[in-house]
Structure 1
């Protein structure tokens, strides 16, 4: 047959992108927007791989039968209503037999299918190159400030008013602190986080700044690329400030759900025992049991978060000393504040 290969540069020319790897492989990471139509299930891939070590010919024959069966199922379900001029791009791990089989059969049917040259491995290599390159040529404005001052709310308000924003905690599905894990959703894999990060960075207009929160190099279980950390740590900063009372009130509201599961709350705080000691942790646990939100967050701010911020922020963010101060009430409507920042900074 004629050359049925395509490259990542051709991605936008296709009607659909199909990942034929197993559901487990797909869940770890995939090309954004791709659908999963596995030609081998998780279990089938293990069976074939195990057999291949013993008898390559038997494994190849079994593999062909399983792929044919699964292709038939997909044709009768997922792809049954696709029109004659449908043009999908198909990929597997490295552009081998799995994607090649589906591509060949789709073209025999009459569809204009192509196989991604190099498969997912080529895509991942491209992501790694972009993770180095794009942050280095981007202009960031960092929202710095103590815990509870409303940096995330201000970032969201800036986005709503049309500014370019990079919500790293949103991408990581974690708020970045010891209490930051989301009970509603697990964090993405590192590869998936990288893919989402590049997908968003690639959409930005390089002539305009990108607002981002100050972060450490790790958000929960995912790591920020070194190039991004270098870029944001050298960026201009806005020092977001709020009164102690406003910060407490904001945290009582923003983290109120933690009190719905006291055991989980205590488990998160237990990670601080080496830093603060068993006596302090026991006291904090009592405050949780008593539902004393304001007292607990007041102590967490004064004994843990503010000292940690003082230790790390000045050394990590080179321009923090020259930061523009911005005093807000984090519980208020920040729309007007965001609009004024956009005007002042030409964002």
Structure 2
């Protein structure tokens, strides 16, 4: 997981971290010397690759897992260059706790409209059309990288982790204007292996519903071609 838009710039690599940690068991001073060398080399390289292209007026947020040494190792040299730098108190762990709080709070602040209907009635297409017309739309299946029904996973793509999904979901919810409806497709508690926050699931369940219907011929046409070609297994075989 990470904050939306964040770039990962490790002060030390996993291998370097393991080497420093092993050395620390027998010689803490030597471990700190080695760790500082690795950190300064990596920071110098990343300054050229990731910081130099930034405009001098940019404001940069730096964070690590707990808001400790790794983020401070980045903050000082970036500040010395002249950038405005903020450190995230408590690091990613504090951010994660805040995401969970926001996912418990935000859904109840929005006026939901739910599209419901059988599989392959075009609910996702309707959501996309609403978005093109300027309506507020939460596409849970796109965020979850899963069709959310018997159609299953997206081809050649894997679902994000639960934490990454939560972060993307909070980011999406925070962008909505509570003065206008937010359209969403009716989903179960789980989309693939990902779970919807309880507050969002409850808000969707209690919202006004628009039912989408289509005849069987249309539904077959809307099913992805690769799935239409699958044959039913003979009875007695699995």
CA distance in 1 between counterparts of 2:28 and 2:123 reads 57
Larger Rg, first or second structure (1 or 2): 1
Partner of 1:106: 78
Instruction: Quote the offset at 1:56 in angstroms.
Output: 4.1
Q: 1:205 to 1:103 in 2, by over 3 A?
A: same
Query: CA-to-partner distance for each residue in 1:158-204, whole Å, 9 max, x for gaps?
Result: 11111111100000000012432112321111111111111111111
Partner of 1:3: none
Partner of 1:91: 63
Q: 1:53 to 1:234 in 2, by over 3 A?
A: farther
From 103, 107, 112, the counterpart of 1:131: 103
Partner of 1:18: none
From 32, 48, 54, the counterpart of 1:60: 32
Matched, 1:257 2:217: no
Instruction: Quote the offset at 1:48 in angstroms.
Output: 3.3
SS at match of 1:62: helix
Partner of 1:143: 115
CA distance in 2 between counterparts of 1:70 and 1:98 reads 12
From 231, 235, 238, the counterpart of 2:210: 238
Q: 1:220 to 1:58 in 2, by over 3 A?
A: farther
What's the TM-score, normalizing by structure 1? 0.63
Larger fraction in helix: 1
Matched, 1:280 2:235: yes
CA distance in 1 between counterparts of 2:171 and 2:163 reads 12
SS at match of 1:216: coil
Partner of 2:162: 190
Partner of 2:177: 205
Instruction: Quote the offset at 1:149 in angstroms.
Output: 0.8
Instruction: Quote the offset at 1:60 in angstroms.
Output: 2.9
Q: 1:217 to 1:59 in 2, by over 3 A?
A: farther
Instruction: Quote the offset at 1:106 in angstroms.
Output: 1.8
Query: CA-to-partner distance for each residue in 1:113-163, whole Å, 9 max, x for gaps?
Result: 232211111211111110000012222111111111111111111111111
Instruction: Quote the offset at 1:75 in angstroms.
Output: 2.2
Q: Report if the CA contact (8 A) 2:119-2:149 is conserved.
A: no
Partner of 1:304: none
Matched, 1:222 2:191: no
Structure 1 regions of 5+ residues with no counterpart?
A: 1-28, 270-277, 284-347
From 138, 141, 147, the counterpart of 1:169: 141
CA distance in 2 between counterparts of 1:101 and 1:153 reads 48
SS at match of 1:180: coil
Matched, 1:248 2:217: no
Q: Report if the CA contact (8 A) 2:220-2:228 is conserved.
A: no
What's the TM-score, normalizing by structure 2? 0.90
Give the root-mean-square deviation of aligned CA atoms.
Answer: 2.4
Count of residue pairs brought into register by the alignment: 238
Structure 2 regions of 5+ residues with no counterpart?
A: none
RCO higher in structure (CA 8 A, sep ≥6): 2
Matched, 1:30 2:40: no
